[in-house]
Amino acid sequence: MIVVMVKMRIKSPQAAREMCRIHSQASEWYQEPGSLGAHCVTNCSDPLQLVIVEEWGSRAAFDGWYKSTARARYEQESAHLRAGPIEIEVYEEA
């Protein structure tokens, strides 16, 4: 299993809610084989720091999503909400 941490700064608490809504909608767009689910959360100490935690059955499944037009659409739809770049960290279950 692969765990992907997607970290970003958001422009406002309202933008964080909108980003999580868009991410929830994106989950419907990318029903890629191997997607095991995702959660969108904000930092309790800093509500402008948002993290999306995704679980994938394999690295190949995640790579397929990452290279997809659906991901590009998701990034385009959410660009106006972000206050900086997206950081992506990929972890493998030991």
pLDDT tens track, the chain, 94 positions: 999 999 999 999 999 999 998 888 776 655 677 888 889 999 999 999 999 999 999 999 899 888 888 788 888 888 999 999 999 999 998 8
The structural architecture, per CATH, of the domain 2-92 is 2-Layer Sandwich (3.30)
Strands (DSSP E) along 1-94, which ranges? 2-9, 35-42, 49-56, 87-92
Which structure tokens are listed for 50? 């948002």
Q: How many residues does the chain have?
A: 94
**The pTM is what?**
0.86
Task: Say what the pLDDT of residue 72 is.
Answer: 86
Which structure tokens are listed for 77? 């739809």
Task: Say what the pLDDT of residue 28 is.
Answer: 62
Residue 44 CA to residue 92 CA, distance in Å, equals 26
Task: Say what the pLDDT of residue 91 is.
Answer: 97
